[in-house]
Structure 1
């Protein structure tokens, strides 16, 4: 993957579900600095339809994986986490840089294998935690990192994906229904808290109603935080709130434009990591750390 010259870097997309259709594919196809080198799907017809919609080539089957890897400098993966992880290892070993969805995997072993493959292959990696790459929230996180004296923080991410009457296409996801809000939106919340307050040295988790999970965290900075996560809240109770409180007062996260703009930011971050050789803070190693924390919380809450 190159970031200079007349040939744009080629990024292949693995996945054809709603997330790929609504975010990754349009972001890649519309990005002026990259070429969408192809779309691979577990369902050949879905791959053909998504590739055709964006003027690209479709790939399917086991042989299609190797063919798209060979035709790409990097890959973006929009697949269930435990399908993503072995594919990411395979892509890294083929010399492709990685733009992965969160969580990297739902097992520590799977996430560690990805991080180790990235290190051995010496490829760049980015894990797409939306708030780390949306322009508005990325700038806000950087501002809070520069502030000293944070005392505590609160993060609440409640969706109504599985509330009665929900018609969201994202609800038709076996891994998301099985793992719940902890694994789906937990990475987003943690990816904001950790860069500002430091890594988590102690974690307590407890279950709430439906798939809701509550976390109490102590960070290496000495600050503490609380987190509430879930996908089954009534629509009127759904929403995202993150705030820090400390010696300088209170800081509340702003709104952001949407996932497609954030994904373009993640593409730019991957290109920068390739160009400079400096790993992005939200890379495969950070993805491994998130999986370790989520697995610990899941075990406690159970």
Structure 2
């Protein structure tokens, strides 16, 4: 482990999650009676920033919140989680909102309204400097692709490694792909990116030098252009809600990589973070602490 905390920078989205729980997910045009409802700060960017901070990183979040009450709550949750919000922008109007439905098996459907996230454009010199000073930059695709590209370019120029969690799946321009060090995608995102019927690791490696394919309850698959090709098994837990599992995984992965761990070991530890997350309902509130990740990691290693 590094002598100091790994410096993680997240450039991404911040939302308020409106979460409804029910026995099952409704069909199109159907109304069902829910079991419970909660509001919790989320958004893939904010979630991954909190995940990285809780996993032991020194994390800075770059993004935009609205001038509404949701924005105040989102920023407060980031601050309370130990995330540096000094560079968070406030845009007049609504914050991003995600409407999430979760069934009793832990499966979910999500609709995101970007709100202020769509205004996060044109990185400032100060924001670029924060990225260049980091060990690892994490980006996703809930903000304008031009901003993701600019952030990744600033990282490359500053010697900061970049993880792109390409979610939600959409077109990845060549100028963005050329400055990505590690791509993290699930099977649906992988097929959307490569336009293939099944996840094609070879096709993904034609785009970027390293890929982690998350396989839900089946663990992860890592491969790179140097010939690495390894399936990394999952940790067995009782699933309550899968909403932020991918964000827990990505945030923890960035921390472990920033600490200097071998990528396969880093992915194995990140698998434990994702598994620890699904044991709770919610998004940012379900993201595990380093102690929780370590405890599950040790249990899995001993099994």
Ranked by relative contact order (alpha carbons within 8 Å, sequence separation 6 or more), the top structure is: 1
Tell me the TM-score normalised to structure 2 length: 0.41
Tell me the TM-score normalised to structure 1 length: 0.41
Of the two, which has the highest radius of gyration?
A: 1
Pick the structure with more helix per residue.
1
